[in-house]
Amino acid sequence: PPAGVSTSVQPPGGRVALGDRLVLSCTVAMGTGPVSFSWHRVGSGSPLSTGPDLELQHVRDNDSGQYLCQVSDGDSVAESVPLNVSVLGEWGPQTK
pLDDT per position as a tens digit, 83-95: 999 999 865 554 4
3-state secondary structure of 74: coil
3-state secondary structure of 31: coil
Please give the average per-residue pLDDT across 2-29, as a whole number. 94
Give the contacts of 34 (CB within 8 A, at least 6 positions apart).
73
Per-residue pLDDT tens over the stretch 44-61: 889 999 999 999 999 999
- Give me the residues paired with residue 36 across strands: 72
Query: What's the pLDDT at 31?
Result: 66
Distance of CA 49 to the CA centre of its chain: 9
CA separation for the pair 17, 58 (Å, rounded): 9
Please give the average per-residue pLDDT across 74-80, as a whole number. 93
Domain 3-88 homologous superfamily, CATH: Immunoglobulins (2.60.40.10)
Tell me if the pTM is above 0.85. Answer: yes
Query: What's the pLDDT at 28?
Result: 92
Domain residue limits, the chain: 3-88
- Give me the residues paired with residue 37 across strands: 71
